[in-house]
């Protein structure tokens, strides 16, 4: 277990280093930030001066090493635009993003588990068929489109829920559904196939032979077995939601990390982009690690180091 964990940790560190190099290079390919910071008619001497002050005149690899060295102690530099530490800017926006990702995940699980379980129990029945249609719709509709549709229907036509903003529960509903919509399909399929496997196993047959009520067989004895593969997915999806929420955050004007990074990209605010993306990749790696650890909660065979 500990060897496995250390190996996963090392893999995570390598992933983060890789992500830092990629984001560092890509952000610099997007153009020269100086032109955004200074007025169009700024004299060349002033441009050079600013470039020197920001360290942008040095070779790229030197810039990276300085960036990496500072990043290790949590210093990502100041935002060119907001003149405040980039990391602080990101951390300030993080709770909103986590809130949104959690609710998105909650929505997807709340739909996927019952639908998946009932699809497996009544295989080929109407729930199974409707579930399959929904799964296809889920896979085929991108988040931005779902988001726009939801706004159109529930905010504009029906006027039930607000279309944007952050602060109250009602403002959370539409963004959470848009974010959680896509993974519902995959999660339903995982739950369904895992349940089908378990329901056909010897121990469930024995449970039935000993008179266990069907309700307990399905929701207690079978579901906990089926939860193991679902849990793996949840970790990956949670991480993907943290990183991928930028579309939904932008549509719903949600003040999260994603929207901040998108704005920073448009402003060529390198430190904020780097801090945001790197921070998200650290979260990604960490949530995958947490999933590896949490298997033990569900599956005692892993808990006991086998």
Partner 1 sequence: MLLSVRDLQTHLHLKRGVLRAVDGVSLDVAEGETLGLVGESGSGKTLTGLSLLRLLPKGSGRIVGGSIKLDGQELTTLSEAALARDIRGRKIAMIMQDPMTSLNPVFSIGDQVGSPLRNHDIARGAALRSAVVDVLQRVRLPSPADRLGDYPHQFSGGQRQRIVAAMAIGCTPRLLVADEPTTALDVTIQVQIINLLRSIQADTGAGIILITHDLGVAASLCRRIAVMYAGQIIETGPVRAIYRSPSHPYTKALLAAIPRLGAKRARLTAIAGQPPSLIDPPTGCRFAARCTLRMDKCAEAPPNVTLSDGHSAACWKLV
User: Applying CB under 8 A, does 58 fall inside the site for partner 1?
Assistant: no
Least separation in angstroms between residue 296's CB and partner 1 is 11
Cα Rg for the chain, rounded, in angstroms?
A: 24
Task: Please pick, from the candidates 119, 207, 274, 281, the single residue that binds partner 1 as defined by CB under 8 A.
Answer: 207
- Residue 122 is classified by DSSP as T
Cβ neighbourhood burial of 239 (10 Å; 0-12, 13-18, 19+) = buried
Cα separation of 96 and 81, whole Å? 21
Q: For partner 1, which is the closer residue by CB, 58 or 224? A: 224
Toward partner 1, which CB reaches closer, 193 or 212? Answer: 212
Contact map string, positions 219 to 258, toward partner 1, x by CB under 8 A: --x--xx--x------------------------------
Minimum Å distance from CB 115 to partner 1? 20
Q: Using DSSP, how many helices (H) and how many strands (E) does the chain show?
A: 15, 0
Give every CB contact of residue 173 below 8 A, 6+ residues apart in sequence.
161
Q: Which is nearer to partner 1, 225 or 274 (CB)?
A: 225
Question: With CB under 8 A, what is the number of residues at the site for partner 1?
Answer: 25
Cβ–Cβ < 8 Å for 287, 296: no
**Per-residue string for binding with partner 1, 156-195, x by CB under 8 A?**
----------------------------------------
100/155 Cα distance (integer angstroms): 18
Q: What is the DSSP letter of 28?
A: H
Binding site for partner 1 (CB under 8 A): 201-214, 216, 221, 224-225, 228, 298-301, 304, 306
């Amino acid at each position: 277990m500990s060897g496995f964990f250390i190996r996963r940790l090392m893999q995570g560190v390598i992933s983060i280093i890789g992500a830092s190099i990629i984001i560092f290079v890509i952000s610099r390919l997007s153009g020269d930030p100086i032109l955004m910071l200074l007025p169009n008619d700024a004299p060349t001497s002033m441009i050079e001066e600013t470039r020197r002050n920001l360290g942008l005149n040095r070779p790229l690899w030197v810039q990276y090493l300085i960036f990496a060295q500072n990043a290790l102690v949590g210093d990502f530099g100041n935002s060119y635009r907001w003149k405040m530490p980039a990391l602080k800017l990101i951390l300030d926006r993080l709770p909103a993003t986590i809130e949104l990702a959690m609710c998105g995940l909650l929505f997807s699980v709340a739909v996927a588990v019952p639908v998946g379980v009932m699809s497996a129990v009544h295989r080929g029945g109407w729930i199974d068929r409707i579930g399959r249609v929904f799964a296809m719709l889920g896979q085929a509709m991108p988040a931005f489109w779902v988001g726009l549709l939801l706004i159109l229907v529930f905010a504009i036509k029906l006027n039930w829920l607000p279309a944007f903003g952050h602060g109250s529960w009602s403002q959370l509903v539409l963004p959470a559904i848009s974010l959680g919509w896509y993974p519902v399909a995959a999660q339903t399929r995982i739950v369904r196939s895992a349940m089908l496997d378990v329901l056909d196993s010897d121990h469930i047959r024995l449970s039935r032979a000993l008179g266990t009520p069907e309700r307990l067989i399905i929701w207690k004895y079978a579901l906990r077995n089926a939860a193991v593969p679902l849990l793996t997915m949840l970790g990956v999806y949670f991480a993907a939601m943290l990183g991928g929420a930028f579309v939904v955050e932008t549509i719903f004007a949600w003040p999260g990390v994603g929207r901040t990074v998108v704005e920073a990209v448009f402003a060529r605010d390198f430190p904020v982009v780097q801090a945001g993306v790197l921070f998200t990749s650290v979260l990604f790696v960490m949530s995958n690690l947490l999933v590896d650890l949490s298997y033990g909660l569900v599956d005692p065979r892993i808990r006991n180091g086998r």
